[in-house]
Amino acid sequence: MFAPLTEVRHLKSCIGQEVALRGWVRNARTSKTRFIELRDGSGFVQCVVGASEADAESYETAGKLTQESAISLTGIVQSHPKTGEPEILVKSLKLIAPSVDFPITPKDHGIEFLMDHRTLWLRSKRQWAIIRVRHTIVKAIRDFFDTDGFTLLDAPILTPSSCEGTSSLFETDYFHEGMAFLSQSGQLYQEPGVPAFGKVYCFGPTFRAEKSKTRRHLTEFWMVEPEMAFAGLEDVMQLGERMTKFILQRVLEGRQEELKILERDTAPLEIALKESFGRMSYTDSVAKLKELGSDINWGEDFGNDDETMLMNSMDRPLWVHRFPKSFKAFYMAFDPQSPELALGADLLAPEGYGEVIGGGERSSDIDYLLTQIEHHGLNLADYEWYLDVRRFGGVQHAGFGMGLERAVAWICRLPHVRETIPYPRMMGTLRP
Ligand code: 4AD
Ligand code: MG
């Protein structure tokens, strides 16, 4: 009888059966018995080709296999005597397509080389694991908001106005209207959705012409941005915490194999899942940073190093709230108790990772916004539609943005965001 085609991920439930597999050779070792590590995109499995079990032609083909050749095979699934993992005792094997001199070998390659070969690098075990964790995080985010009463309100990518300051805008000609900008954030388009739908979110690519090369900055990154009616700073912190825990739960439940490949110690993630996140005002954070040796002064924004320093001493995520409004975006509501402070909060991840979420309460005061627009040097005509949210039944509302790649980097504990997205875009690199 012809063996049914099976995906590697299902092999655990096929012990003792004959199966057919298709995939690519990750690694082939040839001695008297041939050992092939096969990957089919759904997982990895060792295949053993012995002279007495396989037919002569298959045995010979197996002896000549090179890395990334595509093959099909049939064999019996057995569990490895030591690890208990499924492995295949091969009966027959065919070459589907050869692969000659695959550039990425098991030896160490420099990062520039790997980035130049990103399309091929995606086949490596580590990249496979990261992208699958990313997928699970994306799905968790969508499920979280979809089941929490939020309506998806996609934000445009070409926009006439800036959200997060004018220094990091990508511009492009837009017919006779002049310049369009690639969106830095969907927030300004979520706010008008609040009176229409109550609770909305968008989740898409955003762009910043960041002129700094750091391990946290991409020029193109994905952001999820919820926005809620009748909500303030406290609601933002609660929602962000619930969402983060939902994501952690999904990853810890469903991506054990990938976390193992990445050698991710999951204990810190378990703590973040179980414990309440920390909270500290900006003012207290500055005092703490000074204690830790930073030369930051009150009124200055945190640098990457400050965030890392603050978080190295924390075992769980931390909300830093109520920043000086001087360095925050024009739309932020101010704290009526201390008008120099903005009602904003950032979630900083532990283990030295910095800001993963930024958000807060939006100003509902049209006169205040008018002065802010002027103060920030923005063109009022570009924001009239934004002010309409306040003109017609304007209510307290709040929201946040979480950078997907920052979350992936933390959850996988990666040293740099460039591996968290299939095709990273950073200053100085537009490849492939
Ligand atoms: O703090 P940011 O700039 O906030 C906003 O854009 C708000 N309008 C969001 C909102 O309230 N709806 O960015 C939000 C998050 C950051 O916390 C960070 O995780 C991520 O976006 N982020 C970046 N990620 C990668 N590369 C960059 N250059 C990023 N800039 C921001
Ligand atoms: Mg921010």
pLDDT tens-digit readout, 68-98: 999 999 999 999 989 999 999 999 999 999 9
Instruction: Name the β-bridge partners of 71.
Output: 23, 95
Q: Output the six-digit token pair for 285.
A: 């954070």
Backbone torsion region of residue 279, taken as left when φ is above 0, otherwise alpha when ψ lies between -120 and 50, otherwise beta: beta
Count Cβ atoms within 10 A of the Cβ of residue 91 and give its class: 0-12 exposed, 13-18 middle, 19 or more buried.
middle
User: Is any atom of ligand 1 closer than 6 Å to the C-beta of 74?
Assistant: no
Q: For the chain, give the mean pLDDT.
A: 95
pLDDT of 200 over the 90 cut: yes
From ligand 2's centre to the CA of 401, what distance in Å?
A: 8
User: Is any atom of ligand 1 closer than 6 Å to the C-beta of 193?
Assistant: no
Enumerate residues 6+ apart whose C-beta is below 8 A from 334: 325, 340, 341, 342, 343, 363, 368
User: Is any atom of ligand 1 closer than 6 Å to the C-beta of 410?
Assistant: no
Task: Give the model's pLDDT for residue 361.
Answer: 98
Tell me the whole-structure pTM to 2 decimals. Answer: 0.96
Domains 8-97 and 118-419 share a fold: no
Tell how strand 318-324 and strand 338-348 pair up.
Answer: antiparallel
Task: Give the model's pLDDT for residue 2.
Answer: 60
DSSP 230-248: S--HHHHHHHHHHHHHHHH
Hey, whose CA ends up nearest to atom 28 of ligand 1?
A: 217
Mutation to probe ligand 1, out of 162, 163, 166, 185 (largest number of atoms < 8 A from CB): 185
Hey, whose CA ends up nearest to atom 1 of ligand 1?
A: 358
Q: Output the six-digit token pair for 48.
A: 């053993």
Round to whole Å and give the CA distance between 190 and 211: 27
Percent over 70 (pLDDT), the chain: 99
Show the CA angle centred on residue 373, arms to residues 367 and 375, nearest 5°.
Answer: 100
Counting DSSP H helices and E strands in the chain, the numbers are 14, 17
In terms of Cα–Cα distance, which of 25, 19, 8 is closest to 91?
19
Q: Are 76 and 18 in contact (CB under 8 A)?
A: yes
Round to whole Å and give the CA distance between 139 and 385: 32
Hey, whose CA ends up nearest to atom 7 of ligand 1?
A: 401
- With tokens 């908001």, the residue in question is 145
Task: Give the model's pLDDT for residue 103.
Answer: 97
From ligand 1's centre to the CA of 308, what distance in Å?
A: 17
In terms of Cα–Cα distance, which of 134, 126, 119 is closest to 44?
126
Mutation to probe ligand 1, out of 397, 406, 427 (largest number of atoms < 8 A from CB): 406
pLDDT of 340 over the 90 cut: yes
pLDDT tens-digit readout, 357-375: 999 999 999 999 999 999 9
Write down the domain spans for the chain. 8-97, 118-419
pLDDT tens-digit readout, 239-265: 999 999 999 999 999 999 999 999 999
Backbone torsion region of residue 297, taken as left when φ is above 0, otherwise alpha when ψ lies between -120 and 50, otherwise beta: beta
- Looking at domain 8-97, which of 2.60.40.1840, 3.30.1780.10, 2.40.50.140, 3.40.50.150 is its CATH number? 2.40.50.140
Ligand closest in space to the Cα of 356: 1
pLDDT of 211 over the 90 cut: no
For residues 187, 192, 196, 198, the Cα torsion angle rounded to the nearest 10 degrees is: 40
Q: Are 392 and 117 in contact (CB under 8 A)?
A: no
Task: Give the model's pLDDT for residue 122.
Answer: 97
CA of 355, closest atom in ligand 1: 17
CA of 417, closest atom in ligand 1: 25
User: Is any atom of ligand 1 closer than 6 Å to the C-beta of 356?
Assistant: yes
Instruction: Name the β-bridge partners of 100.
Output: none
Task: Give the model's pLDDT for residue 210.
Answer: 85
User: Is any atom of ligand 1 closer than 6 Å to the C-beta of 401?
Assistant: yes
Q: Output the six-digit token pair for 13.
A: 């439930």
- With tokens 């499924």, the residue in question is 86
pLDDT of 1 over the 60 cut: no
Q: Where are the beta strands (DSSP E) in 65-167?
A: 70-79, 86-97, 151-152, 158-159
Round to whole Å and give the CA distance between 19 and 68: 21
Question: Among 131-140, 164-173, 378-387, which range has the highest average pLDDT?
Answer: 131-140
User: Is any atom of ligand 1 closer than 6 Å to the C-beta of 134?
Assistant: no
Round to whole Å and give the CA distance between 172 and 188: 20
Q: Name the percent of the chain in helix, strand, coil, to the closest 5.
A: 35, 30, 35
Class of domain 118-419: alpha beta
Sign of CA dihedral 305, 310, 313, 317: negative
Enumerate residues 6+ apart whose C-beta is below 8 A from 240: 319, 345, 347, 357, 359, 400, 402
DSSP 197-220: HSEEEEEEEEE-------SS--SE
